[in-house]
């Protein structure tokens, strides 16, 4: 069983989010389904999105965690049994271990080949912020006032626009994409002060890493 961004309850909620619907979790789910799940052998279920209040909890699942800032959003996971929580940060994995599930840390990844398609020969703009506009209101945000903002747009449009800039304020998957587009990535969150933290990792290579970690947990021998 795969519960992802196409689940009716998620789609219903997603349609109410306005510009926020073009978020990293949504597009990451699409890539997980397309590029990671088909390359991983397991008898576990998959949950690639956060869908609080599910009536039928699929136990024995691999669950991707998207919110590092508020891990308490996932308190409903305590009602699940025998799950593996996939986090992108070690700190998040530590926090979520409270719910009694096994946790693993899998670095964020992107579809590298897809992003490369949007590279340009010559960059015509200087600097912009790329990501959710709400982040600009966070107290730990360091994007200078007046910086151009690339937000609230489909991923293909975002990649096309980012590729025009020499420098991009970004974090997470957006920072990885900006690096692939050959932009200089500038950090803007105090908890990620060094842009070198964001490593370019392809979904297919992430699938291999995930397979190895799952096999270790489930005792699968090569």
What does the pLDDT look like over 43-69, one tens digit per residue?
999 999 887 666 667 889 999 998 877
Pairing of strands 125-130, 148-150: parallel
Gap between the Cα atoms of 97 and 87, Å rounded: 11
User: Global pTM?
Assistant: 0.92
Give the three-state DSSP class for 187: coil
Q: What is the pLDDT of residues 141-157, one digit of tens each?
A: 788 889 999 999 999 99
Gap between the Cα atoms of 100 and 46, Å rounded: 18
Cβ-proximal residues to 6 (8 Å cutoff; 6+ apart), any chain: none
Provide mean pLDDT across the span 93-100.
82
Whole-angstrom CA distances from 20 to 27, 115, 127, 133, 192 are 12, 21, 22, 9, 22
pLDDT at res. 54? 63
Q: Categorize the per-residue pLDDT at 220 as very low, low, confident or very high, splitting at 50, 70 and 90.
A: low
Q: What are phi and psi of 57, to 5 degrees?
A: -75, 120
Q: Where are the domains of the chain?
A: 2-109+202-218, 112-197
């Amino acid at each position: 069983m795969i519960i992802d961004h196409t689940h009716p309850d998620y789609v219903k909620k997603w349609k109410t989010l306005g510009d926020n619907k073009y978020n990293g979790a949504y597009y990451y789910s699409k890539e997980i389904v397309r590029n990671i799940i088909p390359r991983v052998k397991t008898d576990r279920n998959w949950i690639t999105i956060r869908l609080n209040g599910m009536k039928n909890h699929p136990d024995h699942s691999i669950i991707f965690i998207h919110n590092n800032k508020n891990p308490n959003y996932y308190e409903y996971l305590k009602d699940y049994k025998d799950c593996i929580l996939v986090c992108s940060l070690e700190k998040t994995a530590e926090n979520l271990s409270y719910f009694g599930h096994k946790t693993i840390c899998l670095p964020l990844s992107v579809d590298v080949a897809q992003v490369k398609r949007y590279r340009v020969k010559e960059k015509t703009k200087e600097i912009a912020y790329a990501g959710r506009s709400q982040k600009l209101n966070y107290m730990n945000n360091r994007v200078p006032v007046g910086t151009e903002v690339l937000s609230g747009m489909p991923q293909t449009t975002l990649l096309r626009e980012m590729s025009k800039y020499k420098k991009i304020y970004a974090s997470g998957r957006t920072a990885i994409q900006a690096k692939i587009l050959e932009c200089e990535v500038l950090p803007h969150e105090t908890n990620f002060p060094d842009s070198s933290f964001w490593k370019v990792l392809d979904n297919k290579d992430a699938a291999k890493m995930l397979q190895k970690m799952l096999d270790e947990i489930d005792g699968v021998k090569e």
